[in-house]
Amino acid sequence: MKAIQSKWFFLIFLSLIWGSSFILIKRGLVGLTPFQLGSLRMIFAAVFLLSVGFRSLKNIKQHQWKYIALTAMMGTFFPAYLFSIAQTQIDSSISAILNSLTPLGTLVLGALVFGLSFQRRQVFGVIIGLLGSALLILNGAVNHPGQNYWFATLAICGAICYAINVNLIKKYLSDLNPLSITVGNFTVLLIPAFIILCCSNFFEVAHLPNVKTSMLFVGVLAVFGTCVANVIYFKLIHISSPIFASSVTYMLPVVACVWGILDGESLTLVQALGAFIVLIGVYLSARK
């Protein structure tokens, strides 16, 4: 009973943190490029994690480092840039809704690559979720001609990366504590992120007021939306299942849409219908 209560507590708390990440990305992009934002997010997170959890690295066995590196790339490195680039053209609320495709990807990849069993109902859920996504993107392109909705595919690619990540962690790193995985991930990412930051002309504009303000939002995003959230997420994977853990994306669109509406974003009725269809598909695919 305690384990059941714990996993639901972690799920709700995680949805509030990650649901707020999309508006923080939007604020960060005011003064930063997508590559600057993604790199700073990883660097801030790495510095914070190494300062509080450096000793946890000793728990990682030598043969596990290849999976630490792989999950770092799939769970953080690629999505950090993909979602940042996507949100230069699409609203933060739409980005969050497309991120809810993660459980569908978790199921499909789990079945095809990782040997996860599935039911016919879950296949229907995948199809429904994809139809909802298509409706969401097509209607958004029609009603927001000033936005390039091809960039929505980058958010979908980010969701696929998350799906690969959750399956990798469950299969290869389930015996490693969440803090060790998180600190290990960002130790791997620190140097690549710094190299990309140096190549992004960041240090030439770092003194500008709008850049400094954006960096504050990225700092909050890094500590809470990345460090704290990743530890909670890995803990959730350990005490539940990959599909249950990825179902955190059920609630992300709700939190993100509230922030988006408060920030002046709009969601058409057809887009709201598309979002609802996506969530139905996600529910069917994740339900046991």
The arithmetic mean of pLDDT across residues 81-95, rounded, is 88
Do the beta carbons of residue 268 and residue 143 sit within 8 Å?
Answer: yes
Q: What's the pLDDT score for residue 42? A: 95
Sequence-distant (≥ 6) Cβ neighbours of residue 70 within 8 angstroms: 168
Neighbours of 186 (CB within 10 A): 27
Question: When comparing pLDDT for 193 and 238, which is higher?
Answer: 193
- The amino acid at residue 100 is S
**Alpha carbon distances (Å) from 177 to 181, 183, 189, 274:** 7, 10, 19, 38
What percent of the chain has a predicted confidence (pLDDT) above 70? 88
Instruction: Say how many Å lie between the first and final Cα of the chain, rounded.
Output: 18
The CA distance from 146 to 278, in Å, is 24
Helix (H) or strand (E) holding 168: helix 152-172
**The most confident of 10-14, 48-52, 281-285, by mean pLDDT:** 48-52
Q: Is 148 left (phi over 0), alpha (psi -120 to 50) or beta?
A: beta
Q: What's the pLDDT score for residue 3? A: 58
pLDDT at residue 113 above 60?
Answer: yes
Instruction: For residue range 250-280, list pLDDT tens digits in order.
Output: 677 777 777 877 887 777 777 778 778 777 7
Q: What's the pLDDT score for residue 177? A: 87
Neighbours of 67 (CB within 10 A): 18
Confidence of residue 111 (pLDDT cuts 50, 70, 90): confident
The CA distance from 172 to 194, in Å, is 28
pLDDT at residue 148 above 80?
Answer: no
Q: What's the pLDDT score for residue 4? A: 62
Q: What's the pLDDT score for residue 29? A: 94
The CA distance from 169 to 161, in Å, is 12
Do the beta carbons of residue 226 and residue 233 sit within 8 Å?
Answer: no
Q: What's the whole-number average pLDDT of the chain?
A: 84
Do the beta carbons of residue 73 and residue 127 sit within 8 Å?
Answer: no
pLDDT at residue 238 above 90?
Answer: no
What percent of the chain has a predicted confidence (pLDDT) above 90? 39
Going 260 to 265 to 271 to 272, the CA torsion angle's sign is: positive
Confidence of residue 287 (pLDDT cuts 50, 70, 90): low
Do the beta carbons of residue 161 and residue 78 sit within 8 Å?
Answer: yes
**Token reading at 174:** 């389930």
The CA distance from 257 to 266, in Å, is 9
